[in-house]
Amino acid sequence: MDLNISVSEAIKPPETDAIADFIAGLQKDSGEIPWSDGGKTDPWDHVESAMGLSIAGYFEQAQRAYKWLAATQLPDGSWWSETKDGSVINSTKESNFAAYIAVGVYHHYLITSATDFLEMMWPAVARGIQYALDLQAPEGEIYWARNKAGAVDKMALLTGCSSIYMSLKCALAIARTMGIKRPGWQRAGERLRACIMSRPDLFNMIKSRFSMDWYYPVLCGAVTGEAASKRIDHFWDKFVVPDWGVRCVSDRPWVTMAETSELVLALAAIGDNTRAKTILSWLDDKHYADGSYWMGVTFPDSVIWPEEKTAWTAAAVLLARDALSNITSAADLFKHSFWSDAQP
């Protein structure tokens, strides 16, 4: 497998390697990337961390991360929600966790052009996507999880379904690259998008306090054009705290670096680069010397909380930097223009 492709040093910001070194330093020999030193692992954040490694050109480490996913996938296509040191600590099997491998695999392919990597990972991607789609409700939303015994929890989450929509787009792009047709996936994606765009009543509204429910429908490309801009503007003051970042929850004085970075991605997705660059600049003083970023900080008292240094937070910052600086050939992955002719 070709690992000789390099990210251009001419455009790679000097701090990129420091951030990636932090992520790689948490990776276990097996390829697993836990949240933090001694922390738990979940498959969604594991993929996010691997994407950060790919951006920095740490291809061998990224591929080990994806191979670990393939090796630990359950027979039904899912993963346990949380493990720690090889033991299951949360036996829920979430639909968006299962599907997100497609985003990471396609992201890595866009950077490396390694078709043999796609071929190796395709079975795991296909099983993960199918697990999620097997949980699609009659009206198009996707239930969030099964328990250990296989019973379905018939609740749909807007952020989770938005993540699955992005995963479907990437899975279909992988399939096209490999000459594989998946018309059923295409139809499922169309139904899911229709729900995200116009059926808020199908989703658990308790989560509307969380900023991810605000920007994820835009970030994933389900809500586009004027509707996307209106959605971002409508809730801007509810979640954005100038000079600090983006609240995780609307009624708490706490901003997080991951949500801030993801809003940058959502703004870049709709071409709002001016505000995206401004918000990204708010992270300049919110990191540690080892390349990691604060997980969150309270305002206005500037208390860093929690003090846990997470790999996925660092990776989210790298994704935001890539989207605005074009460090890699995957920089446009979340931009609506990239998908204008390839909607599921």
pLDDT tens-digit map of 299-328: 999 999 999 999 999 999 999 999 999 999
**What's the pLDDT score for residue 9?**
54
pLDDT at 3 (0 to 100): 47
Tell me the per-residue pLDDT of 148-189, one tens digit each, with 9 for 90 and over. 999 999 999 999 999 999 999 999 999 999 999 999 999 999
> For residues 15 and 291, is the Cβ–Cβ distance under 8 A?
yes
Say yes or no to pLDDT of 124 above 50: yes
Distance CA 296, CA 259 (A): 9
What pLDDT sits at residue 207? 80
Kindly tell me if the per-residue pLDDT of 1 is higher than 50.
no
Taking residues 118-122, report their average pLDDT.
98
Q: Give me the pLDDT at residue 10, please.
A: 44
The mean pLDDT of the chain is: 95
pLDDT digits (tens, 9 = 90+) for 217-274: 999 999 999 999 999 999 999 999 999 999 999 999 999 999 999 999 999 999 999 9
Six-digit token string for 89: 């600590």
Q: How confident is the model at residue 41 (pLDDT cuts 50, 70, 90)?
A: very high
Q: What is the pLDDT of residue 344?
A: 63
Question: Nearest-CA neighbor of 220 among 301, 165, 150, 145?
Answer: 165
Element counts in the chain: helices (H) and strands (E): 14, 9
Cα(159)–Cα(95) distance, integer angstroms: 12
| pLDDT grade for 206, boundaries at 50, 70 and 90 | confident
Tokens of 316: 């989210």
Whole-number pLDDT of residue 299? 98
Query: Percent of the chain, pLDDT > 70?
Result: 95
Q: What would the two tokens of residue 95 be?
A: 């639909």
Quickly state the pLDDT bin for 7 (edges 50, 70, 90).
low
- Domains annotated for the chain, with CATH where assigned, are 15-339 (1.50.10.20)
Grouping H, G, I as helix, E, B as strand and the rest as coil, residue 41 is: strand
Whether residue 11 has pLDDT greater than 60:
no
Closest Cα partner for 34 from 330, 193, 23?
Answer: 23
257-269 vs 311-325: helix crossing angle, rounded to 10: 30
pLDDT tens per residue, range 85-105: 999 999 999 999 999 999 999
Total-model pTM:
0.96
Does residue 32 register a pLDDT over 70?
Answer: yes
DSSP structure class, residue 209? G
Q: How far is CA 123 from CA 31, 70, 215, 316, in A?
A: 18, 8, 31, 26
Check whether 4 has a pLDDT greater than 50: no
The whole-number average pLDDT for the span 107-133 is 98
pLDDT, tens digit, for every residue of 65-89?
999 999 999 999 999 999 999 999 9
| 271-304 tens-digit pLDDT | 999 999 999 999 999 999 999 999 999 999 999 9
Q: Which residue has the tokens 């446009």?
A: 332
Q: Helix crossing, 257-269 with 225-234: angle to 10°? A: 150
